[in-house]
Chains A and B, each alone.
Chain A
Amino acid sequence: MDLALIPNGVQRCSLKTFTSWAVLWIVLIVWGLVSAFLVFWKGLNQTNMNHYFAFGLWIVFDLSLIALGAGAFFTGFLTHIIGGIFLYPFRDNLRAVVNAAVVIGFICYSAAIAMLGVDIGQPIRGWFIFWHANVHSMLTEVSFCITAYLGVLTIEYLPLILSNRKLKQVPEFNIFGNTLHHIVALFAAVGTFLSFFHQGSLGGMFGVLFGRPFAFREGFFIWPWTFFLFIHSSIAAGPAFTLLCIWVAQKATGKQLVTRDTFTLLAKISGWLLATYMIAKIADTIGWAYGVVPRAGLSFMDFFQAPYGVWLIIAEIGIFGIIPAIILITPKYRERENLLVIGALMNVIGIVLNRFIVTIQTLAIPVMPFDRFMTYFPTWQEWGIAFGSIGYGILIFSLSYRYLPMFPQEPELNPVEVLGTVVTDSGAIKRS
């Protein structure tokens, strides 16, 4: 039924199979929509957030999605800005994944903004942050940058959408898509600028909390060290997440979508960035333990109490930081596919864990003598919004893969043969 929409030179599963796959994710989206409806109707009392935990699961998810979506700006930066000069031999490998990175980035940022729309409780007043901007607030900078960057990602996504086989037949769409693609370096540069500042400001937002010694950091000029650590960690995790998504897509479709060299390149980039981030993170933790902590009149262990014990820092830095960095930077390990995927997955888990610790543990630690060490567990409505965004992401990625030429190397790597002849118009071939 939808054969005419499928890109040339590739094969896709039947519409029936695809619909069954999509239903699974639509169920998650419905769960998210029901939860959002309840929050809008009854208010934020549908969540377990309170005066201690003003930030909860949604902010953990937001920060994680934004960090993992950094693959879009970083791959765009490497491909379109410095790719032609400094990374010339690898430019083709980067071009093979840049479409997928843009789609992943679009999904992450749109889901994060939708989630924030629910999180602010009164989305009807969401525009206040733009209209009545507090220019000295890191949160204002984040709001401006992620909104503008979602616009940039939409513009970067448009040429891919307009290259759909049917849409391309409309001359207006075809020329417009080509022109946008021609100037994509401009949008990649703007995206890099915006991402640099909002990734940083998300970290800076916690680093300036001088009343919360767990998060507070000194830094450079107006930026606390967390500003730079957040940028560094996001560009380390972004390519790993892109790698992971493409690998999962390969396993789900049973096709090779990019060459092995491309995976190796992404793993190498991610690994070296993670390794340097780990050095910076360990230095920051030591500096914090011997600087901020004693000055606050506290000891290191005051910050690690059940259930947010010292195991969290061991897991974040040791297990999901140093180990994946070693795996990804060591050629003999990253050449083995199992280890490569495990390394990328551990890298992603480490960044999510970091965002969890920065958000939840910071708020769990008492700041007044009469306060207790608090714990927080989300309600089903909070989980609903989070899982809804995962369902939305997988559905958009699946639709993009099915109907758009997302992987330029796919037709070459998976030639479609009919009676022993390679065909380039396979979308019109009816498959059993």
Chain B
Amino acid sequence: MFPFVFEWSWQLDWGRIVFMGLLYMVLGAISLGMLYAFVMTWLKLTGRDKLYERLWLRFPFTLW
């Protein structure tokens, strides 16, 4: 799972690239979503309303 685990291979193996690539893409999307929620909460709580308004996502999440 990580480059420092002994099974990790840097060889061009498409199965590995696709599998690990998709996994880290998904984990990245979840982490970024959570980070966004934490940052926006912090901005609102500390009264940075202008920045909060600017960072508030409008597309595609609120379009629908």
Interface residues of A (CB under 8 A from B): 80, 83-85, 130-133, 135-136, 141, 144, 148, 151-152, 155, 171-172, 175-176, 179-180, 182-183, 185-187, 189-190, 193-194
Contact = CB atoms under 8 A, between A and B. Distances in A.
A186 B26 contact: no
Contact of B41 (A144, A176, A183, A193): A176
A297 B23 CA distance: 40
Main secondary structure of the interface of A (DSSP, over half): helix
Nearest 8 interchain pairs by C-beta:
A84-B64, A135-B19, A176-B41, A179-B37, A179-B40, A175-B41, A175-B44, A135-B16
A80 B64 contact: yes
Given A80-B64, A85-B64, A193 B26 contact: yes
Residue among B41, B45, B63 facing the most chain A CB atoms (10 A cut-off):
B41
B51 interface: no
A144 B30 contact: no
B30 A190 contact: yes
Contacts of B62: 182
B26 A155 contact: no
Q: Which of A84, A155, A179, A183 has the most CB of B within 10 A?
A: A179
A182 B36 CA distance: 11
B33 interface: yes
B29 A186 contact: yes
Contacts of A131: 1-2, 5
Interface string B17-61: 001100100110110011011101100110000000000110011
B3 interface: no
Contacts of B27: 148
10 contacts: A131-B5, A132-B7, A144-B23, A148-B27, A176-B37, A179-B40, A183-B33, A183-B36, A183-B37, A186-B33
A186 B26 CA distance: 11
Contacts of B56: 182
Interface residues of B, number: 30
Contacts of B30: 148, 151-152, 155, 187, 190
Contacts of B5: 131-132
Given A183-B37, A185-B61, A193-B26, 10 more contacts: A84-B64, A132-B1, A135-B13, A135-B19, A148-B27, A172-B45, A175-B41, A179-B36, A185-B60, A190-B29
Nearest to A185: B61
Given A130-B1, A135-B20, A148 B57 contact: no
Given A84-B63, A132-B5, A135-B16, A172 B33 contact: no
A80 B64 CA distance: 8
B64 A185 contact: yes
Nearest to A197: B22
B45 A175 contact: yes
Contacts of B7: 132-133
Most interface-central of B13, B15, B26 (chain A CB within 10 A): B26
B37 A186 contact: no
Contacts of A183: 33, 36-37, 57, 61
A190 B23 CA distance: 11
Contacts of B64: 80, 83-85, 185
Contacts of A152: 30
A133 B37 contact: no
A261 B1 CA distance: 47
B12 to A, nearest CB: 13
A268 B29 CA distance: 33
